[in-house]
Chains A and B, each alone.
Chain A
Amino acid sequence: MKKSEMIAGNVAGFVDDRLGAAKWLKKNLNKVFPDHWSFMLGEITMYSFVILLLSGTFLTFWFDPSQRDVIYNGSYAPLDHVQMSAAYASTLHISFDIRGGLLMRQIHHWAALIFMSAMIAHLMRIFFTGAFRKPREFNWLIGVGLVTLGIVEGFLGYSLPDDLLSGTGIRIAEAILQAIPLVGSYLAFFAFGGAFPGHTFIPRIYTVHVLLLPGAFLALITIHLMLVWYQKHTQYPGPGRTEKNVVGYPLLPVYMAKAGGFFFIVFGVIAFLGAVASINPIWLYGPYTPAQISAGSQPDFYMGWLDGLVRMSPPLETHAFGHTISWNILIPGLIVPGILFTGMALYPFIESWMTGDKREHHLLDRPRNAPNRTALGAMSLAFILVVLLNGGNDLIATHFHLSINSIMWFTRIGVIVIPPIVFVVTKRLCLSLQRADRDLVLHGRETGRLVMTPEGEFIEVHEELSPEKKWTLSSHEQQAALTVPAEDASGVRNPQGFRGKIRARFAVAHAEQIPAATESEAKELGHGHH
């Protein structure tokens, strides 16, 4: 111990002699981080990003991002002497002739799926707990940007091998470009260096995939983390936790060891998946050619919802004045995703407009205590799940022997009907949970023990909650609805006009709550038995 302390001391001294950073470092080595399992979702995202960088770099040593024609003569016999692009041939080479190459490809692909899943789960955690509120709106915007880039990066990544499946995906991307009014055909021809498929697309997206977007990720993730650091992490409500403090463990050594250890665990799990779970076996699909396709063509899950939207779109095109506008591509491919992502990015500002709340928030909401927000999130999630379901309609049809037409009609109607139902149900559910919390605090926990009173009456014994538990279940703030003036000083009615009316309506919906239990009520009821 003595010796290691001495070394640590010497290192600290060496650093401070050169940087004069003792004051800053002293403060930050003891930086406090609150602990909760849901805070690991962002960690998993970041660690999978590191794993993507490592495994991706390995793959670049052999991958040849070129669409030049080659004749394959590697060790995968079924494709021997087949003409294909160098990109596809080199992916086969990595899979069959480089020791650990297939493993690295599978690790890379699994890491990408876990990166996206963890990022989406992290985003949901932030949303449902209200962590995006002031002062953290910047980080919310960066997060929305990262999700968007993640979808693009993933799509470009699985497009690189130039196999039949991914080539079909590129073809669809080309059709989306081509559908953009006015400039579509030009954009498509510029992106593909001429007519589809051309010989330039794979090399171009390779640069974007391995340089441009990872650079953007690195920059955005750095800012994201620096802001978390600077603004300090949010924390869940509980005894001793307030808006003015942060309760947790110091960075050195506990958090460092836990977070560092967790990186290895994430890497270990992904390596295990890469070892045992085959993913994207491109040799089975064959090289890309525009005239062929395999049944059950599916994108990765983070693109699946887009594919589902495109599939359910009604066959709408406008033909006028010698021009064609493909609403069946523009609406599902660009307009709806645009609205979704814009709405998501602006949500913190919309909520603060609805509630009129401009204060800082560092204590997280339990989702039930923000029923309107939780219901809105569940509604959006339901929308995405319904369209995602439709993205897999062909596989669902074959696996469960259902008619693909009826699945399509179910989701076409469901995408309009189900989200509002989910909104209402979720909101009611949240309010019921609030009611249950209130009952727990006021009447205690049901013990299941029945006792007969001397009068012969049977009652169930309720056990009073601990003061900590009572506090946790009742301490949340319940803001009254923002009042929008119906008349201003000079007697003008609805001074804020239509916007004011909408705002008032939203404010009321947002403020709907079951009153939290108070000590006064508890005293009035007496304790425990009644």
Chain B
Amino acid sequence: MSIEKFSDPGLPEHQHRQTDVSEKHADRAERQIAILFVLSAVGTIGTIASYIFIKPNSFVFVPVIGDTNAQQLFLGLGLAVSLLFIGLAAIHWAKQLMPDHEVVAERHEFRSEDKDRKEFVAAAKEGAAAAGLGRRSLIKRSMGLALGLIGLTPLVMLRDLGSLPKKQLNKTNWQAGTRLVLDPSNRPVKVSDLEVGSVAQILPELPEGQERTLESIATDAVLLIRIRPEEFNLDAERLSWTHEGIIAFSKICSHMGCAVALYEQQTKHLLCPCHQSTFDVTRAAKVIFGPAARPLPQLPIGVDADGYLVAKSPFNEPIGPSFWERNSK
């Protein structure tokens, strides 16, 4: 017995709308559409009135939203009303009064007839043959050379987009003896300025008359943290880079360069808010969680003759995210 599928009953019979059969309903739909258009016009008038008459600095309290700028609010509401009601009117019009007979159109396969395809393929082949690329290999090779080389032009022309990195990614403005100053006040820091448990945002002191740039902040920002010295769990060298429980790390995350700004005093963890890499301050900013693969570089610090905190030497490794030329040990 052959399997018989259900047969297609064809398009369902058209159902007339009330507006198709009753003039009264059609007239009512017309009035509804007109009202919607008029409401849009009212919205536009409201928009214009809000622009002219509401003071730009007046605020209104709206439940849920809170205090909000009255002019922006009413301009927006007016705009929304004027637009929405045009849309509603047009759709109501289309649905109620425009013909709603479904129409059937034919589809045709996109593939051309075999004859046309053969001729098309033949023409393409003929064109390729007429150009003679297959036979004249000298032209083919020299053209390849020319086209390949011309691709270099835009690359060369873009060379002046920026300077070469050279050793810049390895450098910061920290030198041996550079004083640590507070950001943003630029005051030098003494040990007594920092209580145990506190954190300070630090930048290197600039020579007289030099302006601080964002580029320098992006490499120089340092976080100064003071804990009780006995809480450190460092080797002798790293311990010698601290001073009376004060330890300094680059604030630029070793993962993707965000500012590692969250210090948890209880656990002595530093957390980067971008990707949650977590560093243990007591163990030289060792990564204890998250995607960062390297500790934050530590800045060796001591005090100068006047008792101000200074860098004992520059960072001994590049700060911030990795790059190909970085020599990571």
Tell whether A pairs with B. yes
* Interfacial residues, chain A to chain B (CB-CB below 8 A): 30-32, 75, 97, 99-100, 102-103, 106-107, 135, 168, 171-172, 174-176, 178-186, 188-198, 200, 231-232, 239-240, 242-250, 253-254, 257-258, 260-269, 271-272, 274-278, 288-297, 307, 310-317, 319, 322-326, 328-329, 332, 360, 362, 393-394, 404-405, 408, 441, 467-468, 470-471, 474-475, 516-520, 522-523
CA distance A326 to B162 in the complex (A): 23
Whether B292 pairs with A471 at a CB distance below 8 angstroms is no
Output the least CB separation between B189 and chain A (Å): 16
CA distance A192 to B164 in the complex (A): 11
CA distance A394 to B290 in the complex (A): 12
Chain B residues with CB below 8 A from A292, complex form: 259, 261
Whether B258 pairs with A171 at a CB distance below 8 angstroms is yes
* Interfacial residues, chain B to chain A (CB-CB below 8 A): 1-12, 51, 56-57, 62, 65, 68-69, 71-77, 79-91, 93-95, 98-100, 102-107, 109-111, 158-159, 161-165, 168-169, 183, 201, 203, 214-215, 217-219, 221, 251-252, 255-259, 261-262, 273-277, 287, 289-294, 320-329
| Shortest Cβ distance from A185 into B: residue | B165
Given A254-B100, A316-B293: A240 touches B11 (CB 8 Å cut-off): yes
Given A103-B72, A315-B290: A275 touches B276 (CB 8 Å cut-off): no
Whether B322 pairs with A271 at a CB distance below 8 angstroms is no
Given A185-B325, A194-B163: A246 touches B9 (CB 8 Å cut-off): no
Output the least CB separation between B297 and chain A (Å): 14
Chain A residues with CB below 8 A from B100, complex form: 249, 254
| Shortest Cβ distance from B221 into A: residue | A291
Chain A residues with CB below 8 A from B275, complex form: 307, 310-311
Whether B221 pairs with A394 at a CB distance below 8 angstroms is no
Chain B residues with CB below 8 A from A100, complex form: 51, 71-72, 75
Chain B residues with CB below 8 A from A242, complex form: 8
Chain B residues with CB below 8 A from A250, complex form: 103
Whether A475 pairs with B5 at a CB distance below 8 angstroms is yes
Chain B residues with CB below 8 A from A180, complex form: 324
Output the least CB separation between A161 and chain B (Å): 16
Output the least CB separation between A5 and chain B (Å): 15
A–B complex contacts, Cβ < 8 Å, 11 sampled: A100-B71, A102-B72, A179-B321, A185-B325, A189-B162, A248-B103, A264-B84, A275-B75, A276-B77, A290-B218, A475-B6
Whether A179 pairs with B322 at a CB distance below 8 angstroms is yes
CA distance A47 to B67 in the complex (A): 31
Given A100-B75, A265-B87, A290-B218: A190 touches B325 (CB 8 Å cut-off): no
Q: Which 3 A-B pairs have the closest CB atoms?
A: A275-B76, A261-B90, A268-B84
Output the least CB separation between A22 and chain B (Å): 19
| Shortest Cβ distance from B169 into A: residue | A185
Whether A99 pairs with B107 at a CB distance below 8 angstroms is no
Whether B94 pairs with A275 at a CB distance below 8 angstroms is no
Chain B residues with CB below 8 A from A266, complex form: 87
| Shortest Cβ distance from A292 into B: residue | B259
| Shortest Cβ distance from A170 into B: residue | B257
| Shortest Cβ distance from B215 into A: residue | A195
CA distance A168 to B273 in the complex (A): 10
Whether B328 pairs with A257 at a CB distance below 8 angstroms is no
CA distance A191 to B93 in the complex (A): 53
Whether B12 pairs with A468 at a CB distance below 8 angstroms is yes
| Shortest Cβ distance from B62 into A: residue | A276
Chain A residues with CB below 8 A from B251, complex form: 291
CA distance A276 to B258 in the complex (A): 32
Whether A269 pairs with B84 at a CB distance below 8 angstroms is yes
Output the least CB separation between B266 and chain A (Å): 14
